[in-house]
Structure 1
Amino acid sequence: MTEVALKSVLAEGDAPSRPSAWSASLTFGWRSMLKLKHIPEQIFDVTAFPVLMTLMFTYLFGGALAGSTADYLQFLLPGVLVTSVVMITMYTGTGVNGDIKDGVFDRIRTLPVWRPAALVGALLGDAVRYSAASVTILLLGLVMGFRPAGLLGVLGAIALLLLFSFAFSWIWTMFGLLLRSEKSVMSVSMMVVMPGTFLSNVYVDPATMPGAVRAVVNANPITHVVSAVRGLMAGQFPGGWILSTVAFSAVITLVFGTISMRLYNRRE
């Protein structure tokens, strides 16, 4: 090929600048959002599961645990909000694992972008799912009779929950990179999430539990998130619970984010 012919197929001018880390992460976040367009069944998981959880626990156990469904709903709904969003975070791991199986993972790694952008972007995209689940539960709760103390408390509670969910998703990202199939990721995730949510203060007050169980429950990060969310929605400012939730989020991100990036960079 002659020099003239070669120049004719090349773009003139300076090469485009490399995208920033934030820009690349947002792009991959948008890619994660587009999956909802092609797999609309995922919207059902976000909306139907929280609705079933709220209705089932309120009307099945409310009278037995709190004397009335109305009183129990005030206690339960912040906990169900946390439980539902935490369970939805499992899809982050299955999405990463699916990209690996389909070969998308290898293609993304060849792109000249910030290396963690694909993982961070997936987590940012999933944050929209968490927000949708939160709004669904709150709207249902209002219809059922739940009454938060104020809008600022609700917004603060959701913001804190999204922060924790973003951090918690790094655990499933690690499993998505480590395990061989989406079914394996889902199975391991359920083995972690189910005990984690039930061994907490979501459904009952830890003061009613035996001492050894109560110690485990009080050390559970989900207990700290639920206590912070419950306090904020009640019009309080539970500074200790908020601080511990932020601390747990930072530690989880540091530990599992670091492990995930090591697996991401070393994977052949």
Structure 2
Amino acid sequence: MITLTAPLADSSIMLRRNFKHIARSPVTIFNAALMPVVMMLIFVYVFGSAFDVGGDYIDYATPGLILLAISYGLSGTAVSVSGDMAKGIINRFKVMDVSRGAVLTGHVVATILTNAVAIAAVLAVAFALGFRSPATALEWLGAIGVMAATSVAASWLTVALGMAAKTPESAGMSVVPLIMLPFVSSAIVPAEKMGQGVRQFAQYQPFTPIIESLRGFLTGHPSGGYTAAALAWCAGIGIIGFLWSRATFSKRA
């Protein structure tokens, strides 16, 4: 029983520690929860009328902005993980016989919960702006599953990037591609409306099937093909992030 409960207790301690750090960093809170809302207001009110998406732009954009909400909270995680490595805090935890898995899991769970708050904020604003979803309860569960899988995968990859970075500053820069990729996907405009080259990249990068899967669930027309591709991408990214972070932890700590 002790073998099972000790890692859980260590993980809960690491989770509380990470939340205290987040609460003390206004920039992290802004990037994770407020920035996605600001982006939604900009795209819907400033640019929305310029995009022809065959319907209400808020209905089209909400799934993509949910993914942006996940992406914007990742830089704080990478910087926090890198800071722990650079300051030698991980080695102190080793001396204290803290479970290795708990250190990584604490960062991952904190990121997932932060993402959940950001997604809730985006959805609340979307409904206030006129977003309406005909999705059934089962389709909403499917959308939540895709969001959860994406958040878990992105969190593990971000932890791995943070551990591999030499400095907190470089860790923050390492997640910039994860923040920018949604902009070169079907998040803001349909991929088929993009120029040659960019269109092909948008169609085959991992975030597009995730967004299209979410869009299908939220509009009441789920796509098995997009959902299978989205879950496959999430599984691959998550496994790579998990194995990479564990290997880097063992090497550097």
Normalising to structure 1: TM-score of the pair? 0.84
Name 2:155's counterpart in structure 1. 169
Cα-to-partner distance string for 1:123-159 (whole Å, 9 max, x where unaligned)? 0111111011011011101111011124633443233
> 228, 240, 244: which is aligned to 1:243?
228
Q: CA deviation at 1:244?
A: 1.4
Aligned partner of 1:218 in structure 2 is 203
1:187 aligns with 2:158: no
Any conservation in 2 of the 1:26–1:124 contact (CA below 8 Å)?
A: no
Say which of 43, 46, 60 aligns to 1:57: 43
Q: Does 1:27 align with 2:13?
A: yes
Amino acid corresponding to residue 58 of structure 2 in structure 1 = L
Query: Which of 187, 191, 198 is equivalent to 1:206?
Result: 191
Q: What one-letter code is carried by the residue in structure 2 that aligns with 1:29?
A: L
Other-structure match for 2:130: 145
Structure 2 stretches lacking a partner, 5+ long: none
Residue type at the aligned position of 1:31: R
Amino acid at match of 1:252: I
Q: Deviations over 1:187-241 (max 9, x none)?
A: 2221x12441222100111122345332211211110110111111111222222
1:84 aligns with 2:84: no
Deviation at 1:23, TM superposition (A): 4.2
> Which residue of 226, 236, 244 maps to 1:259?
244
Aligned residue pairs total 251
8 Å contact from structure 1 (residues 33, 126) kept in 2: no
Secondary structure in 2 aligned to 1:116? helix
Matches of 2:17 and 2:141 in 1, distance apart? 26
Q: What is the CA distance between 1:99 and its match in structure 2?
A: 1.3
1:129 and 2:114 aligned: yes
In structure 1, distance between residues paired with 2:135 and 2:228: 21
Partners of 1:159 and 1:40 in 2: CA distance:
29
Q: Distance in 1 between matches of 2:188 and 2:53?
A: 14
| TM-score, normalised relative to structure 2 | 0.89
Q: C-alpha displacement at 1:22, in angstroms? A: 4.1
Instruction: Name the CA distance, whole Å, in 2 between partners of 1:194 and 1:98.
Output: 20
Task: State the identity as a percent.
Answer: 25
Higher alpha-carbon Rg: 1
Structure 1 residue 157 corresponds to structure 2 residue 153: no
> Gaps spanning 5+ residues in structure 1: where?
1-15
Aligned-partner Cα distance in 1 for 2:202–2:27: 34
Instruction: Tell me how far apart the structure 2 counterparts of residues 36 and 194 of structure 1 sit (CA, whole Å).
Output: 19
C-alpha separation in 2, matches of 1:37 and 1:49: 16
Q: What's the offset of the Cα at 1:20?
A: 4.5
Q: Distance in 2 between matches of 1:181 and 1:47?
A: 25
Task: Provide Cα deviations, 1:37-92, integer angstroms capped at 9, x if missing partner.
Answer: 43355333333201110010111211111289x71111011111111212212322
Secondary structure at the aligned position of 1:66 is classed as coil
Which position in structure 2 is the counterpart of 1:44? 30
1:7 matched residue in structure 2 = none
Relative to structure 1, is the Cα distance of residues 195 and 89 closer, same or farther in structure 2, using a 3 angstrom cutoff?
Answer: closer
Between stretches 256-265 and 174-183, larger displacement belongs to 174-183
Match for 2:78: what amino acid?
G
Cα distance, 1:110 vs structure 2 = 3.0
Match of 1:107?
92
Distance 2:220 2:6 in 1: 40
Counterpart residue identity of residue 223, structure 1:
T
